[in-house]
Amino acid sequence: MIELDQVTKTYDGKNVVDSVTLSVGKGDLCVLIGPSGSGKSTTLKMINRLIPLSSGTIRIEGQDIASVRAEELRRRIGYAIQSIGLFPHWTVEQNIAVVPRLLKWSSSQVRQRVEELLDLFHLDASEFRHKYPHQLSGGQAQRVGVARALAADPEVLLMDEPFGALDPITRDSLQEEMRRVHEETGKTIVFVTHDMDEALKLASRIAIMDEGRLVQVGTPREILNTPANDFVLNFVGQSDLGLKMLACESVETRLEPAPSALRNDPLESIRNHFGTSDHLWLLSPEGQIEGLLTEAPTGDDDLDRSLRPLGRESHATPDMSLKEALSHMVWRKTDWLPVVDAEGRLTGEVGLNNVVERP
Ligand SMILES: Nc1ncnc2c1ncn2[C@@H]1O[C@H](COP(=O)(O)OP(=O)(O)OP(=O)(O)O)[C@@H](O)[C@H]1O
């Protein structure tokens, strides 16, 4: 747990961080967000004492950071930044191992940890451990930067716009990875960004700053549903507020039972079904989804004619966001998407109506 109590930083008589009181629970991913110059990075850097406080207190697990030696503190706190700062003449392995070596871990421990971390970030250890930073893509280097920050298993991870310089696709996939890594490691993370979509995707809590002050703190849903004032509303982005709300909810929250039949069921029973529902998922005898029927077939050859095949790429999964599901519906021109489990089996459906109408 990280507690900031009345934290202030003054430069040239101006409070660039102004009486910020914030508590970040254990295992939370708290995103600090706000316009340029609102004091996010300064707040972050005060947590690991890269910048001294002008007044106030910061505690980690109840311990005042002022009472801990700065070097010791920084070993307990991982720090990942946009420009990564990998050492260019060191291999990936050497870069990740910086803090474990300082902590005098044995070579075998270090080796094992490097493998574990590369694995966590889906980088093949045998391929990547001996590479140098210039041999990595931006996204790979960024992964190594975050892996390095996690190397000595710190209690807390601070991240300052870590994906800011990446192209949108790499950024998207690293955000997904970060979400998974956060779930798997349960680390307490404070993450600075000025990108609201990134915040909504990653945060368990969002803290919005303006001119050094904390304007609102809440879950993504709280911020979207009840913005504290016009500044927050504008910052969140009024025009696509609805889509942002959908981005915070998963398909699982709107899952409905899916009417289905097997291809080799008697035609009569497939037809009868249309008395109770206006659509039906047709499954192969092995249970794989073949497509969607939206009207009763009149004869055996009609089954294929009225079947709308839906490829695997239009299957939804329970953890997919409603925004993504809606996008698939628009793209595929369909009112329903099948929701499948890891084996590709139909577990339910999500309909356009369920997405639009709030439960
Ligand atoms: N060393 C310094 N001396 C004087 N003013 C500073 C110093 N460092 C930061 N500032 C000022 O403090 C304010 C907050 O800066 P900070 O970097 O925390 O903002 P930020 O919200 O992280 O911005 P950005 O999104 O642009 O990175 C800015 O107005 C900045 O000019």
Where residue 163 sits, what CATH number does that domain have?
3.40.50.300
Statement: residue 202 has pLDDT above 60: yes
Statement: residue 359 has pLDDT above 60: no
Q: Kindly state whether residues 191 and 258 are assigned to the same domain.
A: no
Q: Kindly state whether residues 286 and 337 are assigned to the same domain.
A: yes
In a 13 Å sphere around the CA of 178, the CA atoms on its Cβ side amount to 34
Q: What average pLDDT does this structure show over 149-166?
A: 86
- How far apart CA 50 and CA 153 sit, in angstroms, is 20
Q: What's the pLDDT score for residue 247?
A: 87
Regarding the beta carbon of 39 and ligand 1, being less than 6 Å apart is answered yes
Regarding the beta carbon of 100 and ligand 1, being less than 6 Å apart is answered no
Regarding the beta carbon of 213 and ligand 1, being less than 6 Å apart is answered no
Distance 42 CA to ligand 1 centre (A): 6
- Pair type for strands 307-309 and 289-293: antiparallel
Contact between residue 193 and residue 31 where contact means Cβ atoms under 8 Å apart: yes
- List the one residue out of 5, 7, 12, 18 whose CA is nearest residue 212: 18
> How many other CB atoms are there within 10 angstroms of residue 244's CB atom?
20
Statement: residue 83 has pLDDT above 70: no
From 248, 272, 295, give the residue that closes a domain: 248
Its pTM surpasses 0.90: no
Query: Counting every residue, how long is the chain?
Result: 359
Q: Whose CA is nearest to atom 26 of ligand 1?
A: 36
Q: What average pLDDT does this structure show over 36-46?
A: 95
Q: Kindly state whether residues 199 and 260 are assigned to the same domain.
A: no
> Maximum CA pair distance of the chain?
83
| Ligand 1 atom, smallest distance to 41 CA | 22
Q: Whose CA is nearest to atom 18 of ligand 1?
A: 39
Regarding the beta carbon of 212 and ligand 1, being less than 6 Å apart is answered no
Q: Map tokens 């803290």 to a residue.
A: 207
Regarding the beta carbon of 48 and ligand 1, being less than 6 Å apart is answered no
Q: Which helix (H) or strand (E) holds 40?
A: helix 40-47
> How many other CB atoms are there within 10 angstroms of residue 135's CB atom?
12
Contact between residue 251 and residue 322 where contact means Cβ atoms under 8 Å apart: yes
Judged on CB neighbours under 10 Å (0-12, 13-18, 19+), 149 is buried
| Ligand 1 atom, smallest distance to 34 CA | 21
- pLDDT band at residue 15 under the 50/70/90 scheme: very high
- Pair type for strands 280-283 and 289-293: antiparallel
- List the one residue out of 299, 77, 278, 81 whose CA is nearest residue 189: 77
Report pLDDT digits (tens) over 215-228: 999 999 899 889 99
Regarding the beta carbon of 76 and ligand 1, being less than 6 Å apart is answered no
Provide the ipTM.
0.97
Choose the residue to mutate in 16, 192, 193 for probing ligand 1, maximizing ligand atoms within 8 Å of C-beta.
16
| Ligand 1 atom, smallest distance to 51 CA | 1
Q: Kindly state whether residues 269 and 334 are assigned to the same domain.
A: yes
Q: Kindly state whether residues 223 and 284 are assigned to the same domain.
A: no
Q: What's the pLDDT score for residue 209?
A: 96
| Ramachandran sector of residue 39 (left: φ over 0; alpha: ψ -120 to 50; beta: rest) | left
Q: Whose CA is nearest to atom 5 of ligand 1?
A: 11
Q: Kindly state whether residues 17 and 100 are assigned to the same domain.
A: yes
Q: Kindly state whether residues 18 and 121 are assigned to the same domain.
A: yes
Q: Kindly state whether residues 234 and 139 are assigned to the same domain.
A: yes
Alpha-carbon distances, residue 303 vs 264, 266, 316, 338 (angstroms):
11, 11, 24, 19
Choose the residue to mutate in 7, 40, 53, 54 for probing ligand 1, maximizing ligand atoms within 8 Å of C-beta.
40
Q: What's the pLDDT score for residue 349?
A: 96
Q: Kindly state whether residues 284 and 332 are assigned to the same domain.
A: yes
- List the one residue out of 258, 254, 290, 286 whose CA is nearest residue 273: 258
Number of domains in the chain: 2
Distance 16 CA to ligand 1 centre (A): 7
Q: Whose CA is nearest to atom 24 of ligand 1?
A: 36
Q: Kindly state whether residues 310 and 171 are assigned to the same domain.
A: no
Q: Kindly state whether residues 13 and 143 are assigned to the same domain.
A: yes
- pLDDT band at residue 210 under the 50/70/90 scheme: very high
From 248, 271, 305, give the residue that closes a domain: 248
Residue 49 domain boundaries: 2-248
From 199, 224, 248, give the residue that closes a domain: 248
> And the tokens for 166?
């990446």
- List the one residue out of 163, 173, 225 whose CA is nearest residue 195: 163
Q: Whose CA is nearest to atom 9 of ligand 1?
A: 42
Q: What average pLDDT does this structure show over 127-151?
A: 89
Statement: residue 312 has pLDDT above 80: no
Q: What's 346's domain CATH number?
A: 3.10.580.10
Q: What average pLDDT does this structure show over 313-329?
A: 91
Regarding the beta carbon of 11 and ligand 1, being less than 6 Å apart is answered yes
Regarding the beta carbon of 193 and ligand 1, being less than 6 Å apart is answered no
- How far apart CA 285 and CA 263 sit, in angstroms, is 6
Statement: residue 358 has pLDDT above 70: no
| Ligand 1 atom, smallest distance to 192 CA | 22
Report pLDDT digits (tens) over 257-303: 999 999 888 888 888 888 888 899 999 888 889 999 988 888 766 77
Q: Kindly state whether residues 48 and 138 are assigned to the same domain.
A: yes
